[in-house]
Amino acid sequence: MPVALAASRLDVAPPRLALAARRQHRAVACSAPITPAGTAATGAAPRATRPTAPAPVRLAVDLGRPPAAVLVAWLDREVAPRWLFATAGRPLACVRFEPQVGGSFHLVDRDPTGCVEYHGRYLRIDPARGITFTLALGPIASRVDVDVEPCGTGCRLRLTHAGVPQRQQRASAARWSGILHGLRVTLRELARG
């Protein structure tokens, strides 16, 4: 995507006022507002700007279980592989969990076309409020925040996945939607006993 640059024009001053105008321009340039395209609104030469990071993928779901039960489902070595990156018809082929801050996870999903490996490291584990972990899928590294808050008799889960390339955001949102559906189904099964 091309980066848009904005440029403005300085009015030409008579020669004897040129020095005073340059001094005034320098003083203004230090405190000048930034235009939407990222250049000073003082007429300074345009500079290339870094492309902004894409907005994170965000999803929210209401779950009929208390926050602690939901977070256990994310961290339990027996429960998480039933729904996290798994599908109803294909359980994960390899599961390694170290559910502690600084601990890692490695999950492998095998299908007829090959295998997909998910790995990351836990950055935050708060049993009452949520978890944060890195997620690497091939060369793409990202960060996932899972926050829960009480809501009625259950809780509301908010998932934020930052660092997903723009071209993969729809697929990521759809995949997380399916994963959270699997979480809901798993929580219902666990509640039934």
pLDDT at residue 156 tops 60:
yes
30 and 115 belong to one structural domain: no
171 and 93 belong to one structural domain: yes
Domain C-terminal end among 17, 35, 51? 51
144 and 99 belong to one structural domain: yes
173 and 81 belong to one structural domain: yes
30 and 46 belong to one structural domain: yes
pLDDT at residue 8 tops 80:
no
97 and 148 belong to one structural domain: yes
pLDDT at site 91:
81
Which among 123, 73, 77, 83 has a CA at the least distance from the CA of 97? 77
Q: What is the mean pLDDT of the chain?
A: 78
Contact between 37 and 47 under an 8 Å Cβ cutoff? The reply is no
46 and 78 belong to one structural domain: no
pLDDT band (50, 70, 90) for residue 92: confident
pLDDT at site 45:
55
Domain count, the chain: 2
Domain C-terminal end among 51, 66, 90? 51
Residues in CB range of 69: below 8 A, 6 or more apart:
187, 190
CATH value at residue 134: 3.30.530.20
Residues in CB range of 101: below 8 A, 6 or more apart:
122, 123, 124, 125
27 and 108 belong to one structural domain: no
Higher pLDDT, 72 or 34: 72
90 and 166 belong to one structural domain: yes
pLDDT tens, 12-64?
Answer: 333 343 333 333 333 333 333 333 344 444 555 556 566 677 899 999 999 99
67 and 161 belong to one structural domain: yes
pLDDT band (50, 70, 90) for residue 130: very high
pLDDT at residue 2 tops 90:
no
170 and 81 belong to one structural domain: yes
- 26: containing domain: 1-51
Higher pLDDT, 1 or 107: 107
143 and 180 belong to one structural domain: yes
142 strand-pairing partners:
135
CA 66 distance to own-chain centroid: 24
Average pLDDT over residues 80-93: 85
